[in-house]
Amino acid sequence: MKMQLAEFNVARLVAPTDDPRVKDFMDNLDLINGLGRRMPGFVWMMDGLAPPGQQNPDILFEFDPLLAPNLTVWEDLASLERFVWGTVHKKFYERRAEWFEVLGEVHFVMWWVPEGYRPTLTDGLERLEMLRQNGDSEDAFGWDWAKAKATP
């Protein structure tokens, strides 16, 4: 069975989305997400407005409107890596301290999913908790572990 790479991360904005402190981030969010969608190896991205039966991030994270979850699926690690570190996304990543609070715990996780599977926010949160509790494993891992293993 062919496997694809799921990626989930969550960050907490330093201010509400309409605040001038996060304006540059918010003004470029569609640009960065659009670039990701056009990248070779991109498969799927969770949108803010989910179809019936899917989880809407606004509902799952309504307890804290400053939380910004991101959930994507890629063909492989190299495709995700190319987008994150080889495009303008990197410049925005390098500015993350301007827009996001420093979280005291792991906030990024990857895991392999069967081709065609679309993970939910609950999946992402569960995998993130696995990584926080147990460290890197086949079920939940970070960049270093993924690069060392290279394949699903």
Per-residue pLDDT tens over the stretch 103-146 = 778 899 999 999 999 998 889 999 999 999 999 999 999 999 99
Per-residue pLDDT tens over the stretch 85-99 = 999 999 999 999 999
Give the chain as a 3 state SS string.
CCEEEEEEEEEEECCCCCCHHHHHHHHHHHHHHHHHHHCCCEEEECCCCCCCCCCCHHHHCCCCCCEEEEEEEECCHHHHHHHHHHCCHHHHHHCHHHHECCCCCCCEEEEEEECCCCCCHHHHHHHHHHHHHHCCECCEECHHHHHHHCCC
Predicted confidence (pLDDT) at residue 59 exceeds the cutoff of 60: no
Q: How confident is the model at residue 151 (pLDDT cuts 50, 70, 90)?
A: low
91 beta partners: none
Domain at 145, CATH number: 3.30.70.100
What pLDDT is recorded for position 108?
95
How far is Cα 57 from Cα 80, in angstroms, rounded to an integer? 22
Per-residue pLDDT tens over the stretch 32-41 = 999 999 999 9
Tally the domains of the chain.
Answer: 1
Domain that holds residue 115: 3-149
How far is Cα 125 from Cα 30, in angstroms, rounded to an integer? 24
Predicted confidence (pLDDT) at residue 30 exceeds the cutoff of 60: yes
Question: pTM of this prediction?
Answer: 0.88
What pLDDT is recorded for position 149?
83
What pLDDT is recorded for position 85?
95
